[in-house]
Structure 1
Amino acid sequence: MGIFSSIKNAIFGKDQPKPAPPEEAQKARDNSITAEALRNISRAGSVDVEDRLSKMDGADRLNWRTSIVDLMKLLGIDSSYENRKELAQEMGRTDYEGSAEDNIWLHRRTMQELALNGGKVPDKMLD
């Protein structure tokens, strides 16, 4: 099981929602889907990601809404550079170096992937 699967399972639990159609998901991964289309996919999501995360123990002490490190900590997933690099590779990025820009991209991309897998994610976390 990959890092993203661990993130998804920690948030969705047993409520595994129906993911976006494969062609829409592939367009998003290829960056050829419009931002509005991604938002529409997210609005149709059946699991409210922000609500689930905000109710987790420690959510009030971590900056999980914008930080991939804090998101991983909240979920009990090792947030080491190696794991973040592996997650970035799962998301299609091979040049991850752990910079602030890389981590911002990784958090946004993780939220987009959660939306593509049936999560309802706030627009501010998708942009």
Structure 2
Amino acid sequence: MSLFGSIMTKIFGGSASAQAAAPDASETPNVSAATLGSSVAGSSSSSAAAPSMAGAASPVADSPSLGSQTVDVGQVLRDMAERKGETSNYKQSIVDLLKVLDLDSSLSARKQLADELQYTGDKEDSATMNVWLHKQVVQKLAENGGRIPADFHHA
């Protein structure tokens, strides 16, 4: 399974894995309404739209809503972070986000994720790549039915 598929599975649940197995520039994974129905519900005060990313157009972004049920990504991650009992900056850091999800956060894993998400920048500039990865992951979670709190968005 792709690293992004693993991220989707950890946040949206098991049936998201088949649909998120291989995201690329022309196809973004979708999460079915059934998957969303079994997800954690949260408060509407934390909802926010994902910002547009230049060069990251996706057919999902223009698709009709997946239904009235969404996954509160902020609540799911907050609960996971609390269970770990560690202080983390998963709202801004791809490394911390991967750690909260119990996924490989190594540089090689992040380079793999960059390849999956079609990163065209210099992968040796890990700081720039990491910021881009976090933005892309947050955007793709939103495109697939995730409600993203405003404090997840980068300036």
Count of matched residue pairs: 113
Q: Is the 8 A contact 2:91 2:151 kept in 1?
A: no
1:32-83 residue CA offsets vs partner (Å, 9 max, x unmatched): 57xxx79xx7xx7700000110011226511111110011011110101111
| Percent identity of equivalent pairs | 40
1:64-115 residue CA offsets vs partner (Å, 9 max, x unmatched): 1111001101111010111100101111114322522211111111110111
Aligned match for 1:107, one of 131, 134, 138? 134
Tell me: higher relative CO, structure 1 or 2? Use CA pairs within 8 A at least 6 residues apart: 1
What is the distance in 1 between the residues matched to 2:137 and 2:6? 12
Structure with greater Cα Rg: 2
TM-score by length of 1: 0.73
Aligned match for 2:73, one of 34, 40, 49? 49
Q: Is the 8 A contact 1:15 1:47 kept in 2?
A: no
Do the aligned partners of residues 58 and 99 (structure 1) sit closer, same or farther apart at CA in structure 2, a change above 3 Å counting? Answer: same
For the aligned residue pairs, the C-alpha RMSD in angstroms reads 2.9
What is the distance in 2 between the residues matched to 1:28 and 1:66? 16
